């Protein structure tokens, strides 16, 4: 059955994120990286300049700010896809106003 699996993500191509949600993308992307890195580290992975699965070394086990743009883009795309899916499924995303505002 595995060889017959065809991924079928929900089409979110028509969903446009407004500027306020686009400001959220970078925070989400950083958190996506932090969650991934936390998971890797908890599995015994450490930083290494070259990925080595046997030694559990990975070059992306660095702070988000130190990632190459290609890796940041991967995390940004994950964030954008998630936000678009939330909107496509009919949910609203809004920021709560603090008492100071």
How far apart are the C-alpha atoms of 57 and 15, rounded to whole Å? 38
Within a domain: 44: yes
Within a domain: 18: no
CATH of the domain at 39: 1.10.490.160
Banded pLDDT at 3 (limits 50, 70, 90): confident
Within a domain: 42: yes
Taking the model in full, what pTM does it have? 0.84
From 87, 97, 91, select the one nearest 22 (Cα to Cα).
87
Q: Is 47 helix (H, G, I), strand (E, B) or coil?
A: strand
Within a domain: 1: no
Within a domain: 91: no
Q: Which residue has the tokens 């932090």?
A: 34
- The total domain count for the chain is 1
From 15, 8, 34, 36, select the one nearest 81 (Cα to Cα).
15
Within a domain: 5: no
The tens digit of pLDDT for each residue in 12-56 reads: 999 999 998 998 999 999 999 999 999 999 999 999 999 999 999
Domain that holds residue 55: 26-86
Q: What are the helix (H) ranges across the chain?
A: 19-42, 69-88
Signed CA dihedral, 94, 78, 35, 47: sign only:
negative
């Amino acid at each position: 059955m595995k060889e017959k699996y065809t991924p079928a993500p929900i089409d979110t191509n028509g969903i446009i994120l407004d500027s306020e949600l686009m400001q959220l993308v970078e925070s989400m992307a950083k958190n996506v990286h932090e969650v991934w890195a936390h998971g890797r580290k908890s599995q015994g992975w450490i930083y290494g300049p070259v990925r080595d699965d046997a030694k559990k070394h990975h070059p992306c086990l660095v702070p988000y700010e130190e990632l190459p743009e290609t890796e940041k883009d991967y995390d940004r795309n994950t964030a954008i896809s998630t936000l678009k899916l939330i909107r496509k499924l009919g949910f609203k995303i809004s920021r709560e106003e603090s008492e100071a505002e």
